[in-house]
Homo-oligomer: A and B are copies of this chain.
Amino acid sequence: MNNSHVRRATNEDQKIARRQAILDGARQLFVEADYFDVSMAIIAKRSGLAKGTVYLYFKTKEEIFLSLSTEELENWLSAFETRLREQVRPLENTEFVDILRDTFMGRHLMQRLVSLLHLVLEKNITYEEAFAFKLNLKTRMNRLSKLVEQVLPFLAEGQGFSLLSMLHCLVVGSGQMSDPSPVLKQVLEHPEMEPFRVDLEKDIFDTFSFLLEGMKSVSENQSC
């Protein structure tokens, strides 16, 4: 496949680029197949490196997928945060959900990775890695929570974080269903299966809209 020798990553930038190349290879493969079918061997092959080289950049397969998840998650968090920062005034629930929907567009991979996180963090991960991941996530979520509480004034303090947690939960839950295996896809094409065929991305946002509406409604009733 590649007779030509791989150009060596000599400086820090090149090393970062190489690391990125591995992540990108893994990402591609994960788009095409499921987690278990993405072996270290094919990640190496895809990124044009030897197996051992991949291990220079990532200690384990889990570390690759944790990094990938972090990357995709941060990407989305940034996009969402940016969109929220553009808002100077309180938002209607529908406006909020529209923004959310926008930022979710084309982030199917992120959804799948987030659904996978549990599995990945279950095995072969050190305390330090898990801790770093979670801490980073907390920091990002805290910042975002503040913003959310600003644009949705009916939220009490702390409810921003809760809302994001619920969202996370919804993403995981719907993420599992939104990428069926080939066999399942076939099953869902059967006319009898129509009720299960609903667009699950749509479902997340419908659910989330109701959720917001409910929180708002409860908050208004409490203030009476």
Partner-B contacts on A (CB < 8 A): 1-2, 11-12, 34, 36, 115, 117-119, 121-123, 125-127, 130-131, 134-135, 138, 141-142, 161-162, 165-166, 168-174, 176-177, 180-181, 183-184, 186-188, 190, 192-193, 195-196, 198, 203-204, 206-207, 209-218
Q: In chain B, what residue has the closest Cβ to A2? A: B11
Contact partner of A181 among B12, B123, B165, B218, CB < 8 A? B123
Q: Are A218 and B207 in contact (CB under 8 A)?
A: no
Query: Copy number in this complex?
Result: 4
Q: Specify which chain B residues have a CB less than 8 angstroms from the CB of A138 in the assembled complex.
A: 192-193, 195-196
Q: Are B213 and A218 in contact (CB under 8 A)?
A: yes
Q: Specify which chain B residues have a CB less than 8 angstroms from the CB of A195 in the assembled complex.
A: 138, 141-142, 161
Excluding A131-B187, A170-B173, A214-B214, 12 further A-B contacts by CB distance (< 8 Å) are A34-B122, A34-B123, A115-B118, A121-B183, A122-B184, A125-B181, A127-B186, A127-B187, A134-B188, A161-B195, A166-B207, A214-B215
Could you pull out 10 A-B pairs where Cβ atoms are within 8 angstroms?
A1-B12, A122-B180, A130-B184, A130-B187, A138-B192, A138-B196, A165-B203, A170-B170, A173-B174, A213-B218
